[in-house]
Chains A and B, each alone.
Chain A
Amino acid sequence: MDKYSLFVPNFLPFKEYFVPEKNIACAGCGLALAIRQTYKALESDIEKAEWVTSGEGKLFSKLFDKSPVGNSEPSLLKIKKTGAELLICFDNEAGGSLDDAVKKAMPAIAVAEGFHYVATACPSYPFDLYEKVKKGMESTGKAYIHILCPCPVAWQFDPELTVKVGRWAVESRAFPLYEVGSASAYNLTVTTAKPRPLADYLKPQYRFAEISEQQIASLNAAVENDYKKLADKIQPA
């Protein structure tokens, strides 16, 4: 450490709450990475965390008083805090078939349901995720965080690329990272001045092996439309 003062883990607590000996995840699991980073942010509150066991698609109806959406049942972590609770959704997009490829906008539903703090995060941006979980614990009311976890098995890419694929998802604006504070104040936490082509994100994933140029173009239009809607909500301070 004499030559360089740069030391990345200084920005994160060094203590591990994750138990690596019991980790039965596949190699390069994005979910395991997200859980490890989330546990670091929770620190002493970790005993209040509880995994929600979902059954038969009733998860969302139970939590949001709405009818169930699709077949997908992502893992959900519930942390009790004073007066309310923090919900963290670990989304690996594994429940979707090609028919229901359009994802339900869970953060938008959470904003409409009156959550006080809503955010999206990705383990490729660990410090961003860390700050969002901290903010979620500090906010007064209910909070919801949606974490995109690249899954090498379901998305069919090389396990080396887990962090890269998450980063490409953010850079191509397919999964913008933003947070919604109190009074619906939108805030982009990772800005992309020049978006990466969407094909860069889809290409390494073998689940999109049979996708055509036309489909990529239509997906790109949908992504740009969503991003425009989001950008309109962000009011210059």
Chain B
Amino acid sequence: MVECSLLDKELGRPFKPGARREATPEWDKDKCVRCGLCYVYCPDGAIYRTEDGFFEADTDICKGCGICHRECWFGVISMVKED
């Protein structure tokens, strides 16, 4: 049997879709009308609704594609780059 280096627990790690994100969406809650367009158009299903009716992105899943930033009618969502 050939040993695989990926099976070594130090090298192998569980897959996280949002691990290589370049930018994270952030909502301006003063402008947001809570229409839910960002939720409908998110290809990864990362955006969920909080108890107060606003929307947030799950940082483990979000890939930072920026579709929500483009599709928001009111310009609420801004993509914040991470260092």
Q: Give the interface segment out of A155-163, A171-179, A186-194.
A: A155-163
Report yes or no: B67 in contact with A23, Cβ–Cβ below 8 A: no
Report yes or no: A8 in contact with B39, Cβ–Cβ below 8 A: yes
Q: Give the interface segment out of A13-21, A207-215, A221-229.
A: A13-21
Cα of A36 to Cα of B61 in the assembled complex, Å: 14
Report yes or no: A20 in contact with B71, Cβ–Cβ below 8 A: no
Closest to A149 in B: B43
Query: Interface majority SS on B: helix, strand, loop or mixed?
Result: loop
Chain B residues contacting A14 (CB-CB under 8 Å) are 49
Cα of A16 to Cα of B44 in the assembled complex, Å: 11
Report yes or no: B33 in contact with A3, Cβ–Cβ below 8 A: yes
Contact-residue bracket for chain B: 20 to 34
Chain A residues contacting B34 (CB-CB under 8 Å) are 1, 4, 7
Tell me how far the C-beta of B57 lies from the nearest C-beta in chain A, rounded to whole angstroms. 11
CB < 8 Å: which of A7, A32, A158, A160 contacts B44?
A32
Report yes or no: B44 in contact with A25, Cβ–Cβ below 8 A: yes
CB < 8 Å: which of A1, A8, A162 contacts B43?
A162
Interface size of A in residues (CB-CB distance below 8 Å): 35
Report yes or no: B70 in contact with A160, Cβ–Cβ below 8 A: yes
Given the interface pairs A29-B43, A160-B70, the reply to whether A24 lies near B17 with Cβ below 8 Å is yes
**B43-78 contact mask (Cβ, 8 Å, vs A): 1 or 0:** 111100100010000101101111101110000000
CB of A107 within 8 Å of the partner chain: no
Please provide the chain A residues from 17 to 70 with a CB less than 8 Å away from any CB of chain B in the complex.
Answer: 18, 20-30, 32-33, 36
CB of A126 within 8 Å of the partner chain: yes
Tell me how far the C-beta of A140 lies from the nearest C-beta in chain B, rounded to whole angstroms. 30
Cα of A164 to Cα of B71 in the assembled complex, Å: 8
Chain B residues contacting A163 (CB-CB under 8 Å) are 41, 67, 70-71
Closest to B33 in A: A4
Sample of 7 further A-B pairs with CB below 8 A, known A126-B40, A159-B65: A3-B33, A6-B33, A7-B35, A20-B45, A27-B63, A28-B66, A163-B70
Q: Can you show 12 pairs from A to B with CB atoms below 8 A apart?
A: A18-B45, A20-B17, A20-B58, A20-B61, A21-B60, A23-B44, A23-B61, A28-B65, A28-B66, A33-B67, A152-B65, A163-B41
